[in-house]
Amino acid sequence: MPKMIRKGDLPQKTCPVCQKPFAWRKKWERDWENVVYCSERCRRTGKTASPAKP
Ligand SMILES: [Zn+2]
């Protein structure tokens, strides 16, 4: 019997860019600890976003 993950058991994180919670995804199973953003788009935004101008 394959290992199953119930939806209610999925870990979640909150994206610092869009402030939305996102749930664990299969594609992140090896990299969940390093996942910070909910999507590639937010990842780029988060990395390229410049801090508030003085
Ligand atoms: Zn996001």
Up-side HSE of residue 45: CA atoms within 13 Å toward CB? Answer: 12
**Where does the pLDDT of residue 48 fall: very low under 50, low under 70, confident under 90, or very high at 90 and above?**
confident
The CA 6 to ligand 1 mean position distance, Å, reads 23
Give a yes or no: residue 1 inside a domain.
no
> How many domains does the structure of the chain reveal?
1
Give 14-42 pLDDT, tens digit per residue: 999 999 999 999 999 999 999 999 999 99
Residue 23 is part of which domain span? Answer: 11-45
**Where does the pLDDT of residue 6 fall: very low under 50, low under 70, confident under 90, or very high at 90 and above?**
low
Give a yes or no: residue 28 inside a domain.
yes
Give the model's pLDDT for residue 17: 95
Q: What is the dihedral of CA 36, 37, 38, 44, to 10 degrees?
A: -150
Give the model's pLDDT for residue 54: 67
The CA 18 to ligand 1 mean position distance, Å, reads 4
| pTM, to two decimals | 0.67
Give a yes or no: residue 5 inside a domain.
no
Sign, CA dihedral 20-23-28-34, equals positive
